[in-house]
Amino acid sequence: MRVGMLLAAALFTFLALPTAAQAAEPAKLCVRASRPTEYNAHAIGPHDLWIADVPGARTPVRAAPTCIHLRPDSRVNLRSDFQCVGMGDNIGVATPGLPGEQCRISKVTEFVPGSEAEGYR
């Protein structure tokens, strides 16, 4: 009987740990970009993008791509390989007067309003 109670207590502890860990972790940053109509994106610095859901239901993110020619007038196209935009997703950048670029997202973080570089939106 004592062994059964110990097993039940161990099982309860094992099952409760993931729930406690999930409650402690911050909300996942997620912007969907499976289709062009699901997101808005533009350059906010020479090496940073602002990406948000079109409906605005989620928090916008700051993405660091491997592109080197991001300008305020650059047009950005992306597509997430999974549900949320993340590291490794492809980006296409078209800037007037420069050749187009294909690059990837190297980092996604929370966007802090007012953190745009001078001269960018």
Q: What pLDDT, in 10s, does the model give residues 34-80? A: 888 888 999 999 999 999 988 766 789 999 999 988 999 999 999 88
**What is the predicted pLDDT for the residue at 56?**
64
Percent pLDDT > 70 in the chain is 75
pLDDT at 115: 92
* Nearest-angstrom CA–CA distance, 117 and 111: 13
Mean predicted lDDT score pLDDT of the chain: 79
Q: pLDDT tens, 11-22?
A: 444 444 444 333
CA distance 28 to 109: 10
With 70 as the cut, is the pLDDT of residue 26 above it?
A: no
Global pTM?
0.72
User: Do 100 and 71 meet the contact criterion of CB atoms below 8 Å apart?
Assistant: no
Instruction: Say whether 53 sits in a helix, a strand or coil.
Output: strand
pLDDT band at 106 (very low <50, low <70, confident <90, very high): very high
pLDDT confidence of residue 57:
61
